Structure 1
């Protein structure tokens, strides 16, 4: 069964003065088990809005999202969300941040510690368990946020430009780290980005959004072998796909008024 079915989802925002802004035209998309789908598009096109609807953090104006055939009504533990900002609790240690959701669910402390230790190792943070977020670099904080999301064993990982605030080298390393974890943990991932290289490198599918009001205008398979390595970015297949997507995004940026 498909993990996620997005069926004719729209979103209209209304201002206090009654002005209506259409953020999403009807969006239809099926995300299969173990897909890594990147959602690519110009700024303000509705990518993050769609992700928040899948997460249950916003309501669609019409249409619906199904998870394993069950309508999404709100947030749930089966969906793990990672934002661009690190959203860690500054008063908790790294281990305590990662254990937070497990504690809220009432897991025994021994199990909490075991799962936290596993994902601390997965994201390369052994030795930093008792540090606080302010003592870590941005990349290490985001690794903590990813470990916290994974520790709850969600079926789906929802990621909203999670590497957007990182420097280029750290971002590249985080991309490879996440792909390795996704392969090991066999998670389904929806990943929002405006970076074309990142969209291609991470995904087995890229959904290209139009300018606002957003809709999926193109859904492309990425035929690059796994495991991915940074050298894949120099391959002929990668360069050809990047050229096509660059033209797609450029056309939408022009349509949005960028000249």
Structure 2
């Protein structure tokens, strides 16, 4: 069953001088219930643009996005978004940041705190409930952002290179954390990255984008078993997938440089 249907979605940007730049060629993509789908491609290929259209933060120039058969017209609580920058409210504590969306929805305070406590524990931030973003490391801020998105119980989690600003060790820990949450919660996840190892490790399916203007060049199943941990990244199966995707991305990066 499809959770998200992307049908012929294209995006053209127009400058103040009337110059047109096509960011996305028409894209067709089905995201199934409980999928963890990573979108992989070279920088500037339109991955984030597509994600923002699914989130309702941008409008497609043509085509449409359906969520459970209903056209997406704008942002909605059924889609949780996590960005590369942490986008936390600096004047709110960890607990208050996580409760923000719940308060906007009118949940009673006791229910807000209960849900916040559950996801604070899930992301390993117990004991930091009253800390403010400026008192946290980058990884802890991103854990807060993920907890905030999950607390609203979205149908689909949209993630735009959420670990891109983290150091390698923290990034690997965050990948395992997110995968553990997905294995437990079984949310549908659409995750944008340009990191090949990350795309394989997290996903049950990878969609590879071409160079700009982006289109889906290849879709590849990731038949690696669950639960997964860092040791899987050196397995023959993982390395075979990495070699194939590396060649796909290399070809697109070279095509982009030739333009």
TM-score, reference length from structure 1: 0.99
Displacement, 1:256?
A: 0.3
Matched positions, count? 259
1:1-259 pair list within 5 angstroms: 1-257=1-257
The two structures, once aligned, show a CA RMSD in angstroms of 0.9
Kindly state the Cα deviation for residue 184 of structure 1 after the two structures are TM-superposed. 1.0
> Distance in 1 between the 2:209 and 2:85 partners?
23
How many Å apart are 1:227 and its aligned residue?
A: 0.7
Secondary structure of the residue aligned to 1:256 is: helix
Q: State how far apart, in whole Å, the 2-side matches of 1:184 and 1:115 are.
A: 16
Instruction: Name stretches of at least 5 consecutive residues in structure 1 with no aligned partner.
Output: none
Structure 1 residues 223 and 192, CA gap change in structure 2 (3 angstroms): same
- The 1:114/1:213 distance shift into structure 2, 3 A limit, reads same
2: CA distance, partners of 1:184 / 1:221: 21
C-alpha separation between the residues in 1 aligned to 2:183 and 2:222? 16
- Give SS of 1:250's match: helix
Q: What's the TM-score, normalizing by structure 2?
A: 0.99
Any runs of at least 4 consecutive aligned residues in structure 1 with deviations exceeding 6 A, and if so which? Answer: none
What is the CA-CA distance between 1:258 and the residue it aligns to? 6.3
SS at match of 1:112: helix
Separation (CA, whole Å) in 2 of partners of 1:27 and 1:56:
16
